[in-house]
Amino acid sequence: MVFGWGKKKQEEKPVDELPQTKEVSLNDVEKIVSDLEKLRESQTVSEVKHLRNTTAPLIDDLIKIGKMLEKDTLNVDDIDKHLAIIVVRGKKQVIDVIKKGVVSLPEVFTIDNAKKLDTLLNQILKKVGDVLGRQTRVIHIFAKKYATQLKDNLEVMNQNHSNIRDILKNFENTKSNSIEILDALKKINTLKSTKIEKTQKITDTNNELESAKTHLSSLEKSIEEIKSSDEYRKYIESKKSLESFENQKSKIKDEINSQFTKISRPLGRYEYASSLDKEQKSILTKLVENPFDVLISQNKDSIIVILENVRKGITSGSISVKDVDKTLSQITETEETLDGFITKVSEYFQTYQKMSDDLDSLRSEKLISLESELTKTSENKDDLQLKSETFQGEVDEIDSNVPKLVSEIEKKLRLFSNTKYTVLMS
């Protein structure tokens, strides 16, 4: 039960005058914050000290009331015995709380003193408030002459305590704003240092980029000179001749495939049914898939053995075909063309190898080296371009973030200063 005091109606504050405006350098902000914090601390201590000194006499009055109440019989002899017991018990509880819980307030010289005062005053008001709340009927009915005095006393004490708490809360807000401003300053300094570093990297990277472009141009010029020479023209002509000759391979392959396609079915059936050694098995597989690859003189005997085995299989009936005589004739035809095919394949590779050797002899090692270096330099140029753009993007982001942080600092300064600061970048 509430004893009967509360906060007084707050007086309306007059409208603040227009704030003073001031331009300051970013380098001055830290000192401004420090000075403002010290000023707020001094003001806070002074205001709390004043409230403490205003509250101290009320504490003394509470102690006096407790002593007066202790000596007062409250005329309990004139009331019902059972009721008298309740009144005496209630009176004792109030006196005990005042004796034990109501103590002198500490002096205030620092913020820590002010916080301890806030804590102590809160404890006193809670203890006294709780006991008076429980014994409100006893006090208001049987100790009327103390009730009003207690009510008025505690009302002022409660208001003073509320003011002390508000003052300390405002100071804590000031401290919080101060810390946030200093953190923002650190971020700005870090960003400015990072910008210097990134800007230097952009300069270095761009210098490397220009050097790479110059080198690239020089390489392209050297390559162009080589490609305009008679030797290079001979190389290109030789290369075209080789590429043209490579078409002969397709013609030979088509001719060979056309012949071996005639017996591909029995060859395929023999492949699955035969038990040849590993080398012959490999030759048989290629005869079915791509005979051009195995038509060399070293394989001739093995190929003939395979063809004769296929012939025997067809004759014996182990390899079935639609037209036995026709298939046997095609095998004979294949065997008869074998030497010609082997010769054509051999001559093709001999000619191809000679043309390749001639082409290699005309190939410019310097050109190969320059073209390799050109590729690496071009890739390096692209990497440097990307690095430069990345660094520039990071610098642009810093340029965007710093003004935002400065704006936040201006807002925070406004929270605990009557001066409207405009912070100039330095």
Q: How confident is the model at residue 15 (pLDDT cuts 50, 70, 90)?
A: very low
Task: Pick the more confident residue, 214 or 67.
Answer: 214
Which whole number is the average pLDDT over 406-418? 87
What pLDDT was estimated at residue 142? 54
Going by C-beta distance under 8 Å and a sequence separation of 6 or more, which residues neighbour residue 99? Answer: 66
CB atoms < 10 A from the CB of 350, how many? Answer: 10
What pLDDT was estimated at residue 1? 34
Q: Are 331 and 315 in contact (CB under 8 A)?
A: no
Tokens found for residue 14: 């007059």
For residue 305, the SS3 value is helix
Q: What is the DSSP letter of 295?
A: -
* CATH number assigned to the domain covering 20-184: 1.20.120
Residue 88 region by backbone torsions, left for phi larger than 0, else alpha for psi between -120 and 50, else beta: alpha
Q: What is the C-alpha separation between 198 and 393, in angstroms, rounded?
A: 10
Q: How confident is the model at residue 402 (pLDDT cuts 50, 70, 90)?
A: very high
pLDDT digits (tens, 9 = 90+) for 18-49: 668 888 899 999 999 999 999 999 999 999 99
Q: What is the C-alpha separation between 7 and 159, in angstroms, rounded?
A: 6
pLDDT digits (tens, 9 = 90+) for 328-374: 999 999 999 999 999 999 999 999 999 998 888 888 888 889 999 99
pLDDT digits (tens, 9 = 90+) for 178-205: 999 999 999 999 999 999 999 999 999 9
What does DSSP say about strands 20-25 and 419-424: parallel, antiparallel, or unpaired?
A: parallel
Domain ranges of the chain: 20-184, 230-364
Asked whether the predicted pLDDT for residue 167 surpasses 90, the reply is: yes
CB atoms < 10 A from the CB of 380, how many? Answer: 16
Going by C-beta distance under 8 Å and a sequence separation of 6 or more, which residues neighbour residue 367? Answer: 223, 226, 227, 232
What pLDDT was estimated at residue 2? 42
What pLDDT was estimated at residue 76? 60
What percent of the chain is modeled with pLDDT above 90?
A: 50
Tokens found for residue 163: 């003011």
What pLDDT was estimated at residue 347? 93
Which burial class, exposed, middle or buried, applies to 259 when counting CB atoms under 10 A from its CB (0-12, 13-18, 19+)?
A: middle
pLDDT digits (tens, 9 = 90+) for 111-158: 999 999 999 999 999 988 887 777 766 666 556 777 788 888 889 999
Going by C-beta distance under 8 Å and a sequence separation of 6 or more, which residues neighbour residue 140? Answer: 147
Which whole number is the average pLDDT over 319-323? 86
Task: Pick the more confident residue, 183 or 232.
Answer: 183
Q: Are 62 and 102 in contact (CB under 8 A)?
A: yes
Which whole number is the average pLDDT over 73-81? 64
Q: Calculate the alpha carbon distances from 82 to 96, 132, 139 in Å.
A: 21, 21, 17
Report residue 292 CA to chain centroid gap: 60
What pLDDT was estimated at residue 67? 82
The H-or-E segment that residue 24 falls in is strand 20-25
Q: What is the C-alpha separation between 295 and 283, in angstroms, rounded?
A: 9
Which whole number is the average pLDDT over 366-384? 93
What pLDDT was estimated at residue 80? 66
Compute the mean pLDDT over every residue in the chain, rounded to the nearest whole number.
86
> Which range is least confidently modeled, 49-63, 255-269, 388-402?
255-269
Q: How confident is the model at residue 55 (pLDDT cuts 50, 70, 90)?
A: very high
Kindly report the length of the chain: 426
Looking at the DSSP bridge assignments, the partners of residue 25 are 424
What pLDDT was estimated at residue 359? 86
Asked whether the predicted pLDDT for residue 211 surpasses 70, the reply is: yes
Q: What is the C-alpha separation between 172 and 111, in angstroms, rounded?
A: 10
For residue 274, the SS3 value is coil
